[in-house]
Amino acid sequence: WDFNNLPKGVHMGIIQNRTYQPVPNETNSDLYISPFDVVICYGILAHDNAAATIRLIEAVDEPTTQFIVHIDAKYETTYEQVKEYASKR
């Protein structure tokens, strides 16, 4: 963004709140990437509830989403359940 040269009627608050969408024919396509090219990686710290961890993964899963799941070593059953779930994805 060129914050010193914003379009007329656009201010920083609109951009910070992510409500501003540039007009497609006024943008330089080299400046923007497709939402399909954005990879989001979630780090999840889990303990004793494998079902909740699996529900969380399924709730935010998209084709370009990756997950790093750490399960506390004291909860081997949770680890095995999440590992089984991951192996079937």
Instruction: Quote the pLDDT of residue 15.
Output: 67
Instruction: Supply the pLDDT for residue 1.
Output: 56
Is the whole model's pTM more than 0.95, yes or no?
no
Cα–Cα distance between 72 and 34 in angstroms, integer?
Answer: 36
What pLDDT sits at residue 89? 83
pLDDT band, residue 71 (cuts 50/70/90)? very high
Whether 60 and 32 have beta carbons less than 8 Å apart is answered as no
